[in-house]
Structure 1
Amino acid sequence: MNGFREALHEQRWDDHRYYHHSIVNQSLHFVSASTFLVAYVVLFFDPAIASLLGWLVAMTTRQSGHFFFEPKGYDHVNKATHEYKEEVKVGYNLFRKWVLMGIWAACPVVLLLQPELFGLLTPHDGFISFARNVAMMWLVLAGSALLFRVLQLFIQRDVQTGVVWAVKILTDPISDFRLYCRAPGKLMRGVRIDSELQEAARH
C-alpha cells in the first residue's frame, strides 16, 4: 500500500510540476475540477447531464489550459524539453489529447449520419434527445479512453502504473480543487507564472 501511495504521489507531482506552470492553466483546472465534482454527483441521477457537464465544461476548460496557455518551451526549472515531457508523460500527452478531442468532436457528426448508431441508440426526434444521445456517446468515450490507456500502461510499463494512473485521473478533481483553488485570485492580481511551483521544483 505504501508503494501505491508513493507512486500516486509521484504521478501527481510530476503532472503538477511539468504541466501546470501557467496560472491561467491552473485557474481553468480549478473551474474544471469544480465542474467535475458536480458531474460526479449528477452521474448518479442523470448520466447524460453529467456527461455534458464533464465534456462541454470540465474537459474543454481543462484541455484548453494545456493547449493554449501552458508554456511549451524549454523548462528551466525541471531542466527538461517539452519533447522530453511529452515522451515520458504517463497519461495522455498533448498528441493523445488532440486525438481524443478529435474523436469527441466527431461524435455528433457520426450521430447525425447514423442516428441509431448501428442499433445501439434510440434515434433522436429533436434537439434534446439528440443532445442526450451525444452525451451517452461521450460517456462511453470517457470510459473507453480511460480503459484504453490503462491497458496500454499495463503493456508498456506495469500493472501498478496503470492502476495508479486510473486512480489519479478519477480523483484529480478533488486534488486539483485543493491545489488550484487560489489560482483565480492570483490571476486577478496579474500573476501569470507560478513562482511557488518553480521554487518547490528547485528544491
Structure 2
Amino acid sequence: MLVVGNGGGEDAIHLFAATLWHEKSNMAYKGKITQWYQSQGYGYITLENSTQRIKFEFDALKNITSQPSKDAVVRFTLSQDRHGNHHATQIERLQSTPLSLFAALVFVTALGFALYQYQYPRVIGWGLGVINLASVVVATLDRRAYAKQQPLTSDPALIFISLFGGWIGLSVCTALFSLPSRSFFYRLLVALIIGVHFAALIWTVSERGLRDLNGLIAEISAWF
C-alpha cells in the first residue's frame, strides 16, 4: 500500500518512476521505520529523501525479531498486489558498523606496521592480499545475487575463506555492500577465527615467534 506524504503529486510521480526502475533492475529501496503497530501486525517505512510512506506486514521482516527503535534504517523491495497497492517486502535492518570491520582495519594497520618495523615476511602480506582479493570477488558476486534474489555463497565456503585471512575483505565488503547478516553460528566461528589471527600476529612479531614463522615458511618453500 502506498501512502502519499506531504510531497503531494510530484513525490508520487517520482516514486512511481523509481518503482519502475527498481522493479526492472531488482535493486532495493532504503528508508526508515517510522511507525510500528505491534498489536495490529503492520507498520510504515518512510522512503529515504522522501515523504512517501510504504506499508509493510511483520512477516516481511527478515532480521528484525523485536520492535526496532524509531527511525531504524532498513532496506527493502517493493511488491504490488492484485489491487495495485504497493507494500514493502524483504525488509532488513541495515546494521551499524560491525565489529568485524573495525577488527579488519586494526588488523591491516598492525600487519602493515609489522611489515615495516619488524621485517615481517613479505610473503604473508602478499598471501593475504591474494586471498582477500578473492573474498572481494565473492562478496561482489553475492551483492549481485542478492539484488536478483538468488542464492548467496554458503556459510561453510565463507568460513573456509576466512580461515586463510579472507575475513578482512569479507568484513569490509559486507559493510560497504550492506549484505544480509549471516547465521549466529557463522558469526561465532568468524569471531573465533579473527581472535586466532590476532593472537598469531601478536606471537609472530615477537623474536621467537618471528624466527619460528620464518622457519615454517622456509620448510614450506622447500616442498616446492
TM-score (structure 1 length as normaliser):
0.29
Larger helix share, 1 or 2: 1
Larger strand share, 1 or 2: 2
Task: Indicate the structure whose relative CO is greater, using CA pairs within 8 Å and at least 6 residues apart.
Answer: 1
TM-score (structure 2 length as normaliser):
0.27
Structure with higher Rg: it is: 2
